[in-house]
Structure 1
């Protein structure tokens, strides 16, 4: 009689997120957006007042708004081209517009945008590693800019007006965060050993935070930071200044659209100066570091309208300017992104075989 080997008990399928964790965040986002647009905004203006402000613009003001908007749409491509050697500007434009449209319309769209970026770059012959380097560096510099803008704005305010205790504390906190981030990056890039030490230290901190939540400790962070260092050190040493310039231009180009919108609807420099507007814009951008809603919808409007009104702007005109600004920088990329997505799906002339994109001296063979 043949012995039958005991069968292993069936493995349980991996548990997905509980239903409440999938439902509650989108629901809270919808509640926040509804509260801003249906309760908060009507206290400042009405759609008829917004339309009246837009209709009162001259052709010169509309043309200036259009030029500022087009320039803003073009600037983030510079960051992608700098961080992805071999990527053409036309490809960066298609990728940026498409992923922006997804991020602006889908709750949790950031993850979908990442997948789209990998898919598009792969269709143009770029490896996943090269795309990862691009996303890591562009995201890192974008966060540096979000930390640096409030510091810059508060410094300018201190030079042009009497600084308050709150402003000084906020500026010092932002400066400390920025310096700490830059120092940490410098240590991480200095050597593989220092990168591994930073990874192990960050892993211990993350494990300590997760322990009270009943989560297991994290592993492999030293390998992850070492890999990041190996992939980015060469590119950063050669292009950090161009990456910094491209990021600054991108951030200030977005701010330019806001300033032009304010002036076009009648908010004068005597009511809200450029430095005051920059301070409000900087802190509104800082709020988007936490993705409460797609594209910061509702959050940005709330922060800009309250901040610019508190700075001295007419409430109705400020609300009109902010809605015009968001229409040009949040709404407009959505149909454009839909068009670029259809173009990418249909166009085959730009396609390359996997991992056949042109290499440069900044792209090691292992990347």
Structure 2
């Protein structure tokens, strides 16, 4: 097969095998982490036979509580998108969020695939590109801001309650730093159209410089894209920032509620792991889970949560059982519903067509 030379003279054909090898290496690393966690690390913390004995002690009352909490958590997926994309109804938002979350869990590229899935479904239903871009950006930004904020809150709560803060110190420090940078960036972009354009030009120049060093093409957008986004976002946030914030917090805190209920359901008492300590462990692992090491953080989240909760005082077998129940309830229903949503999303088109792009 003949090769085509790029502007710098390097054959393009050489880049494709290199990218393929990179994906293979990343896939092998992710697989090794997952296998290592479930085949070696967790069994060293607690024998699976002991863990199963703990799971079988779960009463039907606690099972109903966990099911209800799972339904509650699933029902909090749509509201942030409904706030960020006016006109989007609950059913359509549920389909989009379940499908995109499922894709982000099972796909190697994770979040990127989930975003692409959301984009494709919403555009297929006729929503304008600018509106979809705004919704994707705002929901993603608010979610990441919440993830960065939780370790800060957890560190404060641990200090107030006299608990150990060593596990959270670094995460909270990183959270404060990144949170401050993101908020400052948002303020700069949203403050004025001219400032948004200047910031956008600077970001575009830096991104292009970075991509060129990686032998990639420079970006085609500039500060005008930031200015257009700013105009759309300011108008919406002026009316809905509080709704978006509350919906985002509700969505993530119901996930924590599932963890706390899973701990209590298998007998991990407040005397062993308080709700503050459970929140601290969850907040810490939520930060770690944002790093795309494995699809859906599988292996990383389980090991991180188990280690932190055992360090706080939970019994080994009880903690492992609680973490596995929690992960089952937060992953399996979404993957199942998301798969169904991805196959049937065209059937859920809004009854009143939204304005189409010319």
Q: Counterpart in 1 of 2:272?
A: 271
Q: Supply the distance in 1 between the matched residues of 2:170 and 2:128 (Cα, whole angstroms).
A: 44
Q: Counterpart in 2 of 1:42?
A: 43
CA RMSD of aligned residues (A): 2.6
Deviation at 1:247, TM superposition (A): 0.7
Q: Counterpart in 1 of 2:297?
A: 296
Q: Counterpart in 1 of 2:118?
A: 117
Deviation at 1:81, TM superposition (A): 0.6
Most deviating of 176-185 and 70-79: 176-185
Query: What does the per-residue CA deviation read over 1:166-200, in whole Å, with 9 as the maximum and x for residues that have no partner?
Result: 75565344223223321221121011111122223
In structure 1, runs of 5+ residues without a counterpart are 1-9, 358-365
Q: Is the 8 A contact 1:45 1:320 kept in 2?
A: no
Q: Counterpart in 1 of 2:172?
A: 171
**Cα pair distance change 1:211/1:330, threshold 3 Å:** same
SS in 1 for 2:291: coil
**Cα pair distance change 1:167/1:121, threshold 3 Å:** closer
Q: Counterpart in 2 of 1:189?
A: 190
- 1:136-155 equivalences under 5 Å are 136-155=137-156
Query: What does the per-residue CA deviation read over 1:5-44, in whole Å, with 9 as the maximum and x for residues that have no partner?
Result: xxxxx87795553231231111211111111111111112
Q: Is the 8 A contact 1:288 1:296 kept in 2?
A: yes
**Cα pair distance change 1:244/1:206, threshold 3 Å:** same
**Cα pair distance change 1:332/1:196, threshold 3 Å:** same
Question: What TM-score results when the alignment is normalised by the length of structure 2?
Answer: 0.89
- 1:1-367 equivalences under 5 Å are 15=13, 16-17=15-16, 18=18, 19-161=20-162, 167=168, 170-206=171-207, 209=210, 213=214, 220-345=221-346, 347=347, 350=350, 355-356=354-355
Deviation at 1:74, TM superposition (A): 1.1
Query: What does the per-residue CA deviation read over 1:79-107, in whole Å, with 9 as the maximum and x for residues that have no partner?
Result: 11111100000011111111222221121
**Cα pair distance change 1:163/1:33, threshold 3 Å:** closer
Q: Supply the distance in 1 between the matched residues of 2:167 and 2:322 (Cα, whole angstroms).
A: 27
Q: Highest Rg: 1 or 2?
A: 1
**Cα pair distance change 1:323/1:225, threshold 3 Å:** same
Question: What TM-score results when the alignment is normalised by the length of structure 1?
Answer: 0.87
Q: Supply the distance in 2 between the matched residues of 1:271 and 1:56 (Cα, whole angstroms).
A: 18
SS in 2 for 1:332: helix
Query: What does the per-residue CA deviation read over 1:22-71, in whole Å, with 9 as the maximum and x for residues that have no partner?
Result: 31111211111111111111112243333322221112211111111111
Q: Supply the distance in 1 between the matched residues of 2:205 and 2:120 (Cα, whole angstroms).
A: 34
Instruction: Number of aligned residue pairs: give it.
Output: 349
Q: Is the 8 A contact 2:310 2:319 kept in 1?
A: yes
Deviation at 1:153, TM superposition (A): 0.4
Q: Supply the distance in 2 between the matched residues of 1:110 and 1:295 (Cα, whole angstroms).
A: 9
Query: What does the per-residue CA deviation read over 1:273-306, in whole Å, with 9 as the maximum and x for residues that have no partner?
Result: 1111111111111112221111111111111010
Q: Supply the distance in 2 between the matched residues of 1:205 and 1:124 (Cα, whole angstroms).
A: 35
